[in-house]
A = this chain, B = another copy of it.
Amino acid sequence: MEFPSKLIEDAVTEVSKLPGIGKKTALRLVLHLLKRDEDQTQTLAQALVAARTKVQYCRKCHNLSDDTLCSICANPRRDGSTICVVEDTRDVLAIENTAQYKGLYHVLGGIISPVEGVGPSDLHIDSLLQRLTQQNEGDEPVKEIILALSPTMEGDTTAFYLQKKLRPFSLRVSTIARGIPIGGDLEYADEITLGRSIVSRIAYE
C-alpha cells in the first residue's frame, strides 16, 4: 500500500504493531482520528503513555495497580485464606466479573511455554511460594490454592509444575472445573471436553 502522506504511513505502521491489527484496520483507525477533534487524539495518546509509564504491579499478587498494593490485596473484607492463581490481569477481571470469588489472587505474568522460551523462572512462582512461607503475624493462613489456568497444553504444564511445588505445603490445591459450558450444546462440544465432563461428573446431593 502506498500512502499519500508519510505522517499517515508512520501512524499506520505504529498502530499495526498492536496484536490483531493489520494495515487496513490501522488505516481505518487513523482516518477515524483525523475526522474527530484534535483533543480526542491528544487524550488517547496521553492515556496510553500514562498507563505505560505510571502503572505499577501489586507487590503481593503482581496484579496491575495504581499503588504498591492492589485494591484486592488491600481490601480487608477479601478472604485471605484462598489464593487463586491466574495467568494475567485479564483473568483477574474475568473472575471478578463473575462475583463468585471473594479470595485473593496471584498473577503469574505468563504461562510455561517451551515453544516461546518461557520457563518457570520467568513467572512469579517464587513469590507465590514466599506468600505461603513468609506469612506475617495477623495474616490469615492460606488454606487453599485454586489454579485457574487455561485448559491448554501450556496451562496444564504450568498447573502440573505448580502442583509439584505446592505439595510440601499442607493445603488444598484445586483447579477450576472443566466441562460443557452453560448454554452449550452437547452435540457441538468437542470430544475431549465431553469426555472430561463425564469423568469429572458431579453427584446430585
Contact = CB atoms under 8 A, between A and B. Distances in A.
Nearest to A15: B44
Contacts of A147: none
A113 to B, nearest CB: 14
Interface in A39-60: 40-55, 58
A1 interface: yes
Interface in A3-49: 3-8, 10-11, 13-15, 17-21, 25, 27-34, 38, 40-49
B47 A10 contact: yes
A45 B70 CA distance: 27
A55 B8 contact: yes
Contact of A65 (B2, B4, B49, B96): B4
Contacts of A28: 19-20, 90
Determine the interface band of chain A, counting residues with CB < 8 A from chain B: 35 or more
Nearest to A93: B1
Contacts of A30: 48, 51
B55 A93 contact: no
A4 B45 contact: no
24 contacts: A2-B93, A2-B96, A4-B58, A4-B64, A4-B89, A4-B93, A5-B65, A6-B66, A8-B64, A10-B47, A10-B50, A14-B40, A14-B47, A17-B44, A18-B29, A19-B32, A27-B90, A27-B93, A28-B90, A30-B48, A33-B52, A34-B51, A34-B64, A44-B45
